[in-house]
Amino acid sequence: MTYGTSINDDLGAGGLENVVVASTLNGVTSLSAGGLTYGLGSATPKPQMTAIVIGNSIAAQAKIQSTYWLTASEVHQADILAGAPLRWKRMTATIRMDLYGAYGYSGQTLPTILADLPAQVWGQLRTSGVVPDIIIAPALLENDIAAGATVAAMQASLSQFIRDAQGRYSGAVLLLATPHVSFSYDTAAKVLAYQQIRDHMLTLDDAHSIFVSRIDGYENPDSPGTPLGTSGSPIYTDSTVHPNAKGAVVNARVIAATLRRISSKWKTTYPVNSTNMAMDGTGAASGTNVSGTVPTSVTVSGSANATSIVCTAEQPGLLMAITVAAGTAPNPIDVSTFNFGTLAISGAEISPFVEIELVSGAENLHNIELMVRDVTTANWIYYVQNQSNHLQPDWINGDVLTLRMPTALVASITTGNAAVYIKPLPKYQGGTTIFRIRAQGIGLVS
């Protein structure tokens, strides 16, 4: 394990007395003081990092699905939990890479992926003029282990991947994840190979150019190498190896901790605007089962599915308490949307964002969706949209979710009026969830 030996001298007014050490499965990852977070052993602080994703079918869960990203994308959930340090640039898609640089080759071993990358990823990045700051490989060797590959062969192909990526982009940081646990590791030899390649990958973390997340948080202690549950009754997966939304958030917490190690401070690299960027002012809230006050320009439509939605304008910011009764099916409950107002956009790409703090009742929350609508054509775009067939993820009180959409979502929204919404989705068991909207706006890229 590598630990940093020093931090920024600016520890805030409270000095070391106010330093909080954050601990994860990977050990100590950061120090927090004076409202800032300092990475231990971190690389030079970067602005928001242009990212690409490479791997097998688990990595493919990070690919855009027409107009939304999946709740089962560990990478996007990690970005949300880490404060949105990743930036997704548009490019020309290939057969296995989407237009935001997420590549996944389902069912393939790493040697096959390596042979596929020149045409499917590296060549298109060059053609599109995209130079990544970070290359995220959340899943590379699961199919190799399941196929009975030797540890030596897997080490060799992993070394080739690292040399290839670093040789093409010498300034890029690599973020690797250890292999996911799988029901396909069904022999003692495969389990041993999984454990040995996991341990080998952890030794590659140099806290400088290669960072590794150990993502075995839902490994079954009574059946090493496999997930908790059974293949017929999975808890965190889809009965094989792919995380569902619940499993993705478990893994995302560890990947988010690694992202915080990589870069201790991030900044938005474009101007920000919105109808009411500071979320100040106050007015009466209205809508079905809605009461309280909201900042100027914020509207709440409400829903009969909610027992009550109580809003409090905090000058600035907005506190929301949503109470729902238990649902009749194991799907999240739709309590309609909250609109931050309509903004005229002209001659710019846009990147809507919202920062939300979970105050209490996080155990009752399934998800919060960020949505943007082109007022002219009524095209909706979602960031990490709920999938009803995924088990419900586990959020924690105090989580801060930063949802920032990639830029240039659709051509029609770059001119005209854009309306930004969020949609909370309580879990089917009901209860009360309280969250605070700390910031929101639209990033503009000229």
Query: Is pLDDT of 296 > 50?
Result: yes
How many residues can be counted in the chain?
A: 446
Do 316 and 193 reside in the same domain of the chain?
no
Query: Is pLDDT of 361 > 70?
Result: yes
Do 220 and 320 reside in the same domain of the chain?
no
Task: Select the more confidently predicted residue: 360 or 327.
Answer: 360
Do 440 and 301 reside in the same domain of the chain?
yes
Of 32-41, 286-295, 310-319, 406-415, which gets the smallest average pLDDT?
32-41
Task: Supply the pLDDT for residue 446.
Answer: 56
Task: Supply the pLDDT for residue 388.
Answer: 67
What b/e sequence results for 282-298 when a residue is b if at least 16 CB atoms lie within 10 Å of its CB, and e otherwise?
beebebebbbbbbbebb
Do 164 and 101 reside in the same domain of the chain?
yes
291 token code pair: 């009461």
Q: What digits encode the pLDDT tens for the residues 213-240?
A: 999 999 999 999 999 998 888 999 998 9
Report yes or no on 7 lying in a domain: no
First to last CA, the chain: 43
Do 276 and 160 reside in the same domain of the chain?
no
Q: What digits encode the pLDDT tens for the residues 140-162?
A: 999 999 999 999 999 999 999 99
The band of 132, judged by pLDDT with boundaries at 50, 70 and 90, is very high
Domain boundary among 228, 262, 296: 262
Average pLDDT over residues 74-81: 94
**What strand order describes the sheet that includes 36-39?**
20-24, 27-33, 36-39
What b/e sequence results for 214-227 when a residue is b if at least 16 CB atoms lie within 10 Å of its CB, and e otherwise?
bbbebbbeeeebbb
State how beta strands 349-360 and 431-445 pair: antiparallel
Report yes or no on 183 lying in a domain: yes
Report yes or no on 34 lying in a domain: no
Report yes or no on 120 lying in a domain: yes
Query: Is pLDDT of 323 > 80?
Result: yes
The band of 269, judged by pLDDT with boundaries at 50, 70 and 90, is low
* Beta strand segments in 19-177, E: 20-24, 27-33, 36-39, 49-55, 86-87, 134-139, 173-177
Query: Is pLDDT of 391 > 90?
Result: no
Report yes or no on 36 lying in a domain: no
Task: Supply the pLDDT for residue 373.
Answer: 78
Report yes or no on 181 lying in a domain: yes
| Count of domains forming the chain | 2
Q: What digits encode the pLDDT tens for the residues 236-266?
A: 999 899 999 999 999 999 999 999 998 765 5
Query: Is pLDDT of 379 > 80?
Result: no
330 burial via Cβ count (<10 Å: 0-12, 13-18, 19+): exposed
Tell me the residue range of the domain where 334 lies: 272-445
Task: Supply the pLDDT for residue 201.
Answer: 97
Report yes or no on 366 lying in a domain: yes
Task: Supply the pLDDT for residue 412.
Answer: 57
Task: Supply the pLDDT for residue 31.
Answer: 36
C-alpha to C-alpha distance for 158 and 408, rounded to whole angstroms: 34
Do 220 and 362 reside in the same domain of the chain?
no
Do 302 and 385 reside in the same domain of the chain?
yes
Report yes or no on 16 lying in a domain: no
Domain boundary among 218, 243, 262: 262
Domain boundary among 232, 262, 292: 262
Task: Supply the pLDDT for residue 187.
Answer: 97
Task: Supply the pLDDT for residue 381.
Answer: 80
| Residue 432's CATH number | 2.60.120.260
Do 243 and 296 reside in the same domain of the chain?
no
Do 304 and 432 reside in the same domain of the chain?
yes
Do 231 and 283 reside in the same domain of the chain?
no
Do 420 and 282 reside in the same domain of the chain?
yes
The band of 13, judged by pLDDT with boundaries at 50, 70 and 90, is very low
Query: Is pLDDT of 348 > 90?
Result: no
Average pLDDT over residues 351-370: 91
Average pLDDT over residues 67-92: 90
Do 423 and 303 reside in the same domain of the chain?
yes
Task: Supply the pLDDT for residue 331.
Answer: 72
Q: What is the mean pLDDT of the chain?
A: 83
| Residue 195's CATH number | 3.40.50.1110
CB neighbour list of residue 154: distance below 8 Å, 6 or more residues apart: 110, 141, 144, 145, 193, 197
Task: Supply the pLDDT for residue 264.
Answer: 61
- pTM as predicted: 0.81
The band of 47, judged by pLDDT with boundaries at 50, 70 and 90, is low
